[in-house]
Structure 1
Amino acid sequence: MTTTANEPLLVAESVTKVYRTGQQEVVALDELNLTVWRGELVAVMGPSGSGKTTLLNCLSGLDDIDGGRVLVEGRDLFAMSDHERTAHRARSMGFVFQSFNLIPVLDAAENVELPLLLVGVPAREARERAVAMLDKVGLAGRAGHRPNELSGGEQQRVTIARALVAGPAVVWADEPTGNLDSAMAAQVMDLLRRLNEDEGQAIVLVTHDDGIGHSAGRLVTMRDGRLIRDEIRAPAMR
């Protein structure tokens, strides 16, 4: 199922996540509500321990939740079986990690085409789409290079290409500039903003960088597992 123009892409309703260690319980998400619209660029900020990464992990279905529900493109993520949820993630979501998470023995094109191969795209088509996406992120000439032959900024651009190559509805980015210097971080954010505008995917990113947070179309601030502020800085694409 896909969303229509006036339907939200993602709806989180009273989402609760509790971590239990022995006799201790830590409420990481406290009946949190959030709606994300198609095409939005949403930055999530807050102090360490406020629940930002937990939010991304729960809304993407990487982690289970203890209460509430998450609807992605109208489907209840946690009403699915593990297999259905994994398949839904592969079709509808992309991920950008701080640590890149590229496979070291694969070159850039092979890393980018991997999500396509996993959902059954024929090898030739997957390679063509991977090379085209690398071109969009400015790495057309680096397709045959392995991660250890690329700079940190280039590796993160490969990660972004991999996240976007399957045309997901939403991309989750956890501190995507955290391992980059300020110049590289600015380039990566410019790229994410441009791709968000050109490709139309929603991007939800966690950041500690005030400049990045305040340059997003929407800034969500968390504290103690709750949303304490939600500022729209540009109209959502609906």
Structure 2
Amino acid sequence: METVNTDRALLLATRVSKIYRTGSVEVTALRDLDLLVHRGEMVGVMGPSGSGKTTLLNCLSGLDDIDGGRVEVDGHDLFAMSDAARTEHRAHTMGFVFQAFNLIPVFSAVENVELPLLLVGTRPREARRRALDMLDRVGLGHRVEHRPSEMSGGEQQRVTIARALAGRPAIVWADEPTGNLDSTMAGQVMDLLCELNREGGQTIVLVTHDAGIGARVTRLIRMRDGRLVDDVDQAVTPSAVLPDPPPG
């Protein structure tokens, strides 16, 4: 990696490699990968199927182990920690938004959002307050008592975003967050993520296969065969993707 200014670095990955093994077969998913993400960036990761996008997210967040290299998040070396310490660090500094909503069906929206807060020791009254505030922020203040089955796909994804943000994470990882949504709902979810990044300064790393979604991030990384092959800062306008349908 060339010399860079790391003063504002939130994530610093150096020569990260990941190998999947099945019997005698080895597949290299990440190859000596370097990446620096600053606070407040909205980074999109694109590439063909099998290029390593989801593996990158899982390794940089500490969900998966790595076979070589170093990953620092918020000043902490993830893989120098014990599994328990890494899990605790992840719970306090990271939020996750996945393609599958992963909401608990018998819980209301507010209960789904407050549960991770309760699990890390937040007092129940404070957890409820923060969950309600975040649901209101994502436009669901009127749906807090509804269960997932009573909500649209776009609303459920907004609940997952509220859940990811309620813990005030340093970084949010989003893996194909619009993959299960139609174009209208996908546009609404991206509007929200862009607003949270632009107005709230939330750091977001977003994996997508959709070029329209990729057009809306402020920095776009492309992967191929486990390597970063392009890294571009890009000007973004609100109308860069998913324009309103023509009248009539």
- Cα deviation 1:176-199 (Å, max 9, x = unaligned): 000000000000000000011232
Aligned-partner residue type, residue 151 of structure 2: L
**Partner of residue 202, structure 1:** 203
**Partner of residue 243, structure 2:** none
2: distance between equivalents of 1:106 and 1:162? 13
Aligned-partner residue type, residue 193 of structure 1: C
Shift of 1:201: 1.9
For 1:1-238, what aligned pairs fall within 5 Å after superposition?
6-233=7-234
Aligned-partner residue type, residue 142 of structure 2: G
Q: Counterpart of 2:215 in 1: which secondary structure?
A: helix
Normalising to structure 2: TM-score of the pair?
Answer: 0.91
2: distance between equivalents of 1:129 and 1:23? 49
Which runs of 4 or more aligned residues in structure 1 lie more than 6 Å from their structure 2 counterparts after TM superposition?
none
Shift of 1:6: 3.0
Are 1:218 and 1:230, in contact at CA under 8 Å, matched by a contact in 2? yes
Shift of 1:217: 0.2
2: distance between equivalents of 1:234 and 1:171? 21
Aligned-partner residue type, residue 230 of structure 1: D
2: distance between equivalents of 1:167 and 1:197? 16
Shift of 1:115: 1.6
Q: Counterpart of 1:133 in 2: which secondary structure?
A: helix
- Cα deviation 1:138-184 (Å, max 9, x = unaligned): 00010001111110000000000000011100000000000000000
In structure 1, list runs of 5 or more residues that go unmatched: none
Relative distance call for 1:217 and 1:205 in structure 2 (3 A) is same
Are 1:167 and 1:201, in contact at CA under 8 Å, matched by a contact in 2? no
Count the aligned residue pairs.
231
Aligned-partner residue type, residue 101 of structure 1: N
Aligned-partner residue type, residue 40 of structure 2: G
Relative distance call for 1:52 and 1:122 in structure 2 (3 A) is same
**Larger Rg computed on CA atoms:** 2
- Cα-Cα RMSD: 1.2
Normalising to structure 1: TM-score of the pair?
Answer: 0.95
1: distance between equivalents of 2:113 and 2:145? 11
2: distance between equivalents of 1:6 and 1:74? 11
Shift of 1:234: 5.1
Q: Counterpart of 1:11 in 2: which secondary structure?
A: strand
2: distance between equivalents of 1:25 and 1:185? 36
